[in-house]
Amino acid sequence: MRFTIAIDGPAAAGKGTISRAVAERFGFAHLDTGALYRAVGVKAQATGRDPVDTARSLSPADLERDDLRTLAAGQAASKVAALPEVRAALVDFQREFARREGGAVLDGRDIGTVICPGAEVKLFVTASPEVRAHRRWLEVGGDEVQVLAEVRERDARDMNRADAPLRPAEDALVIDTSDLSIEEAVAAACAAVAARLA
Annotated binding-site positions for ATP: 9-17
DSSP 114: I
Number of Cα atoms under 13 Å in the Cβ half of residue 56: 8
Return binding residues: 9-17
Residue 42: φ, ψ to 5°:
-65, -45
Handedness of CA 163, 15, 13, 36 (dihedral sign): negative
> What are the E-state strand segments in 34-183?
104-108, 121-126, 173-176
Longest dimension (CA), the chain: 49
Q: How many helices (H) and strands (E) does the chain have?
A: 8, 5
How many C-beta neighbours within 10 Å does residue 45 have? 16
Q: Computed from CA positions of residues 180, 36, 63, 48, in that sequence, does the dihedral angle turn out positive or negative?
A: negative
Amino acid, single-letter form, for residue 139: E
